[in-house]
Amino acid sequence: MSFLNYKNMKKGLTIIFALMMTVVSMAQERRVSATMYGEFKPSVITFTDGHKSSQPLTNVFLKNSSLLYFKGDNVMEATMDNILAVDFDDRHFVTIDKKLAYRVAQVKENELYCVELFDQETYERNIRNNINFSNIDFLNMNPSSFQNASVDIVGSTTTVDMNNEEDFKLPVFRHFYMRLNDNWVKVHERDLGRVLPKEKKTMMKRIMAQPNFSWQREESLKQLLEAISD
């Protein structure tokens, strides 16, 4: 191999290495958003004792679907035992099993709600497939480390930044619930079948038989809600 060819090959390898390092650096600069909303925003919190509180900077924590808020420069986690509902400008949330669920649809007195939670299985699969999710905010926000005080909203300090425009949404799994006759029911054929009368079960079967039906598809569940609410 001539010196010129060796020099050109070395130069080419140097350029390729530099490009690889640039791509890695860009990936490492990306952050994964651990919150439902890209930015913290105002909400009105309704507590179990009936009183309400307006908070200027709040969000929903995807790790456990709890309420986050700012106290000074610190991100705090709410004590969900004390919270009945939370209203943002675009969504109404209620607390189900200490998790915030937003209303998807309402037909007469019946309602459909959704809880969004971080999907650990999908995340690990993405990691195995070399999809880069670096700087995961919620890993630095373990709720077990929070110091619970005897106030309505409590938490501990953290230094995470969750307002980066380059943030990626964590993979989430959606859990659906229906409020039927003031009772909460998980949206699943088995659970609904236990509470629905015979004629409503027949309607459910008809909806389920549709080619595009899915227990994870909002439109399917809206149709189901309408069918069993007539």
pLDDT of residue 130: 60
pLDDT of residue 40: 93
Q: How deeply is 45 buried, as exposed, middle or buried, from its count of CB atoms within 10 A (0-12, 13-18, 19+)?
A: buried
* Sequence letter at residue 133: F
Six token digits for residue 182: 């003031």
Helix (H) or strand (E) holding 133: none
Residue matched to tokens 């420069």:
73
Q: Which residues pair with 33 in a beta bridge?
A: 169
Write out pLDDT tens, residues 32-64: 568 899 889 999 999 999 999 999 999 999 889
Q: Could you give the residue ranges of the DSSP H alpha helices within the chain?
A: 3-29, 120-128, 189-195, 198-208, 218-229
Write out pLDDT tens, residues 76-121: 899 899 999 999 999 999 999 999 999 999 999 999 999 999 877 7
pLDDT of residue 114: 97
Q: Calculate the average pLDDT of the chain.
A: 76
The structural domains of the chain, with segments of one domain joined by +, span 3-30, 33-181, 187-230
pLDDT of residue 181: 87
